[in-house]
A = this chain, B = another copy of it.
Amino acid sequence: MNQFEFYSPTKVLFGKGVETKVGAEIKAWGGSRVLVHFGGESARKSGLLDRVEASLNAAGIAFVTLGGVVPNPRLGLVKEGIELCRRENVDFILAVGGGSVIDSAKGIALGVKYDGDVWDLYDGISEPTGSLPTANIVTLAAAGSETSEHTVLTNENGAIKRGYGHPLCRPKFTLMDPELTYTLPPYQTACGITDIMMHTLDRYFSPGGCNEMTDRIAEEVLKTVIQFGKVAMKDPTNYDARSEIMWAGSLSHNDLTGLGRIGDWAPHQLEHELSGYYDVSHGAGLAAVWGAWARYVYKADIMRFARYGVNVFGLALNYKNPEETALQAICATEEYFSSIGMPITITELIGKKIPDEVIAEIAEKCTFFGRRTIGGLVVLDKPKIVDIYTAAR
């Protein structure tokens, strides 16, 4: 095991009906005036928000609400939330939703304690000065944001999507009721499955020495999501499947599957530009670029791709030609994505051929306008990024 730090202090309450404990938990964490942050009206129509508000009332906790979070959550709503929290003296933020809502809540929580424009943090030009405590009720197994230190926002001004990570962003607690994910449409379920897989894959395919304990947990997270993902696609109210996927989703992004490794994250960064530009689902965008990325970089560590094929997909290792197994593993991943209805090219993702000039534009954005390269297994500059987008076309 290489050097690492691991800090995942978020308390998890998991199982049927845990959302009814939210009032008591917030009280135990010292919250007294809460912002309840959510997405669309489905949270109200399903009765979930009513149950949440009943639990808050029962605990004697005051609250205000702010809905309207959309996929690829927007900076504009975050700024609205910051103003609302300051005006209402909010001291605790509860996100009710999936990764977009949780990420938006984290942005608000940072922004309330920050004097300048909260985008400075996402843009990497400033440091946070505190955060309101946050917690969440998860309604979508995907982002893993419920236990992670990460948040991703889109700045409408320029359609720029940026991820940010800081220990201050770790939620105090998360309430995970797998039954809340029963009503997800198949496409969203599949996007979630892909996102979960990619949080581990982007850690797994990276430079690193002997980190067996980490690699083995990573492989089991992948196998579990792949197996139960198939079940959930066919049988959306299968509790076993929904619950295994949901817990795997948290483990996949609480850092456990990457300890001792550096993390590559190029596929995530390639995708952020796609969904920032075309406003597509993050999970679908990941599926659309991963294969092209993998074929571009696999020669940097053929045996790792081969191991992945053997341990995750049960392929037989070709000892005479492990490269064949490595390529089979990439195919197996794409076949799995296709089998759950995910696109494996950008054309499938956006429904048309991506123009050369858009590739040039998002490749430029992906380098932060020339301020960075991406990737670790292979370091990618703008020409290489253009190559991969083109290959994924």
A178 in the interface (beta carbon within 8 A) = yes
Interface-centre pick from A209, A217, A251 (highest chain B CB count, 10 A): A217
Contact B15 A213 (CB under 8 A): no
Select one of B3, B18, B227 contacting A15, CB under 8 A: B3
Interface residues in A163-220 (C-beta closer than 8 Å to B): 178, 209-210, 212-213, 216-217, 219-220
Contact A13 B5 (CB under 8 A): yes
Question: What is the CB-to-nearest-CB distance from A178 to chain B, in angstroms, rounded to a whole number?
Answer: 7
- A12 and B3 form a contact (CB under 8 A): no
CB 8 Å contact bits of A235-248 with B (1 = contact, 0 = none): 00000100110111
Residue of B nearest to A2 (CB): B15
| Interface pair A16/B1, CB less than 8 Å apart | no
- Residue in contact with A14 in the complex, picked from B6, B178, B209, CB distance below 8 Å: B6
Is A367 in the interface zone, CB < 8 Å from B? no
Q: Which B residue sits closest to A228, measured CB to CB?
A: B212
Check A224/B247 contact, CB under 8 A, given A14-B3, A15-B4, A178-B1.
Answer: no
Cβ-defined contact, A7 with B1, below 8 A:
no
For window 239-283 of A, CB contacts with B under 8 Å fall at: 240, 243-244, 246-248, 251, 259-260
Cα-based distance from A266 to B294 in the complex (angstroms): 48
* A346-389 to B contact mask, C-beta < 8 Å, 1/0: 00000000000000000000000000000000000000000000
Query: A1-B243, A15-B4 are known contacts. Are A223 and B216 too (CB-CB below 8 A)?
Result: yes
Q: A1-B178, A1-B243, A8-B8 are in contact. Are A213 and B14 (CB under 8 A)?
A: no
Cross-chain contact B5 with A247 (CB below 8 angstroms)? no
Most central of A4, A12, A14, A213 by chain B CB within 10 Å: A213
What is the minimal beta-carbon distance from A12 to any residue of chain B, in angstroms? 4
Can you list 26 A-B contacts (CB < 8 A)?
A1-B14, A1-B15, A2-B15, A3-B14, A3-B15, A3-B18, A4-B14, A5-B11, A6-B11, A6-B12, A7-B9, A7-B11, A7-B12, A8-B9, A14-B259, A210-B240, A210-B243, A212-B227, A212-B228, A212-B240, A213-B224, A213-B247, A213-B248, A213-B251, A216-B224, A217-B217
Top 10 A-B residue pairs of the complex, sorted by shortest distance between their CB atoms: A3-B15, A9-B9, A216-B220, A1-B243, A6-B12, A7-B11, A210-B240, A4-B14, A213-B247, A213-B224
| Additional A-B contact list (20), CB under 8 Å, known A210-B244, A213-B220, A219-B220 | A1-B14, A1-B243, A3-B14, A3-B18, A4-B12, A5-B12, A7-B11, A7-B12, A8-B9, A9-B11, A14-B259, A209-B240, A210-B240, A212-B240, A212-B244, A213-B244, A216-B223, A217-B217, A217-B220, A247-B259
